[in-house]
Structure 1
Amino acid sequence: MFAELTALTARPGPFARTTTAELWTDPHLSERMLAAHLDPDVDLSSYRASFRARSTAWLTARFGLGPGSRVADLGCGPGLYGNALARSGAAVTGVDLSLRSVLHAAADARRDGLPARYLQEDYLTWRSGERFDLIIMIMRDLGALAPYDRRRALWTVTEHLAEGGAFVFDVDSPAGFAAVREQTRYAPSLMDGFWAPGPYFGFHTTFRYESELLSLDRYDIYEPHRTRTFYNWVQHFTPASIRAELHAAGLADTEILGDVAGSPFDPESPYFAVIAAPVS
């Protein structure tokens, strides 16, 4: 038992393993993730409803969205942003790994007669041959990816942005990293049954990687018939570090903001937003 507990607190190398796809494709987890998306009062899988309303209103006005506009939402989830933007008349394409979320988004769009389509695809490899006036990646998705996958995501953006188009996304900041505390906690049915439909014991361990501005929340889940481990990596960026990654993909930041609702940049905020465009 001592050796097993020691292993639970062993620090893995940065991005040594990723399990992002499992969160969105496992039947039980995808159901719980969808429920978190749809809860209007929490900032877990999506921003809470009050913020989304401000954010989609700002996006619509800032980029002049309406009939004839083309929008892509990478990591669209259940279409909370995509369908709101489609109400302007813009043609929206949402891309997400989760079939459950994509079906929910498409059903809502059909019910409301919105010009939106939703694809169950991996946006790291998705290539449609289309060009979009606006591409969004909301809820700090980029920082959950390993460096190689971030490059792949940004190349997806580069290959789909129209001339004069914009890419809007948000990331975690050094102020957010400063608030991360290393800890381990244990509970039966950790997070109220989030991780499995039956009984289990869960361990949640948080690690900080100082020089990389990287954090990890690792969840070790012990069920009667199996043990699973999930890794939630969060890369924190400075404006300079995200600028470097954008430039490597042929993109340039045109504006640094406080959030995806257009607030001014605040270095004390746990996250910030970026508007980027293809390098001229």
Structure 2
Amino acid sequence: MFEELSAINARPSVYAEVTTPELWTDPHISGRMLAAHLDPHVDLASYRAEYREQVVAWLIDRFDIRAGRSVADFGCGPGLYTTRLARTGASVTGLDLSSRSLDHATSLASAEGLSVRYLRQDYLTYRDDARYDLIILVMRDYCALPPNGREALLRTVREHLAAGGFLVLDVDSVSAFAHVREQATYAPSLMDGFWSDQPYFGFHNTYRYEREQVSLDKFEIFEAERKRTFFNWVRYFTPEGLAGELRGAGLTDVDVLGDLTGSPYDSEAPRFAAVATTASGAR
């Protein structure tokens, strides 16, 4: 038992394993994630409803979203942004791994008579002939990716932005990393049954990786017939670090903001946003 518990609490090497897609493809977990998306009062899978409305209003105003514009939401979830952006008459595409979330998004669009193109695609490998005036990546998805995943994402973005098109994203800041504390917890049905509809025991470890400015929440889930491990990585950024990655991918004119409503940058805030463009796209 001591050896087993030691193995559960052993610190993995940074980015030893990435399991993010399983959160969106597992039938039970994806259902819990969808419920979190749709709860208007919490910042979990999506931001709170009031903030979302402010984000959409800012996007429409800042990037002149209207008929004739083309917009993509990478990681669109249940269509909370795509539906609102499509109301402007813009051509809107949503990409997501979760068929459950996409089914909800499609039903929303259908109920309002909106034409939104939804694709069950991994945005790291997505390719087609579409070119977008605006690509959005909301809820700090960028931070959950390992370095090669971030590079792959930015290649996708660069290949699908129209000339003068914009990428808008938000990230966790180094100020948030300062508040991460290493810990270990255990509970039957950890997180109120989030990980399975069957009885299970859950172990949750949080680790800090100082040099990389990365944290890991590792969940070991033990059921009667199987054991699963989930790795939730978060990379914390400075404006200079994020801008360097964006410019390295061929994006330019990086504008750092406080959040996705266009507020001023605050070095003490737990997150910030950025706008980057292709050539001749400054606005």
Instruction: Give the TM interval when normalised to the shorter protein.
Output: over 0.9
1:181 equivalent in alignment to 2:190:
no
Q: Distance between the aligned counterparts of 1:97 and 1:253, measured in 2?
A: 30
Match of 1:49 in 2: 49
What is the CA-CA distance between 1:115 and the residue it aligns to?
Answer: 2.7
Structure 2: distance between partners of 1:239 and 1:115 = 36
TM-score normalized by the length of structure 2: 0.97
Partner of residue 61, structure 1: 61
Q: Is the 8 A contact 1:186 1:203 kept in 2?
A: yes
Structure 1's consecutive aligned runs of 4 or more residues displaced over 2 angstroms after TM superposition are none
1:209 equivalent to 2:209? Answer yes
1 CA distance for matches of 2:125 and 2:171?
Answer: 21
Confirm or deny that 1:154 pairs with 2:154: yes
**How far apart, CA to CA, are the structure 2 residues paired with 1:185 and 1:261?**
36
Measure, in 2, the Cα distance between the counterparts of 1:9 and 1:206.
Answer: 10
Q: Which amino acid aligns with 1:28?
A: H
Equivalent pairs counted in the alignment come to 280
**Percent identity, aligned pairs only?**
59
Per the alignment, residue 262 of structure 2 pairs with: 262
Corresponding residue number in structure 1 for 2:134: 134
Q: What is the aligned partner in structure 2 of residue 74 from structure 1? A: 74
TM-score (norm. length: structure 1): 0.98
What is aligned with 2:199? 199
What do residues 29-72 of structure 1 show as CA deviations (whole Å, max 9, x unaligned)?
11111111001111010001010011101101111111111000
Q: Give the secondary-structure state (helix, strand or coil) at the position aligned to 2:233.
A: strand
CA shift, 1:9, in A, is: 1.6
Gaps of 5+ in 1: none
| 1:15 counterpart residue number | 15
Which residue identity lines up with residue 192 of structure 2 in the other structure? D
Aligned-pair RMSD on alpha carbons? 0.9
- Contact in 1 for aligned 2:164/2:279 (Cα 8 Å): no
Letter in 2 for 1:122: D
Deviation at 1:252, TM superposition (A): 2.1
Once residues 87 and 262 of structure 1 are traced to their aligned partners in structure 2, the CA distance between those partners, rounded to angstroms, is 21
Q: CA deviation at 1:97?
A: 0.6
- The residue identity in structure 1 corresponding to 2:160 is H
The equivalent residue for 1:234 is: 234
CA distance in 1 between partners of 2:254 and 2:149 (Å): 23
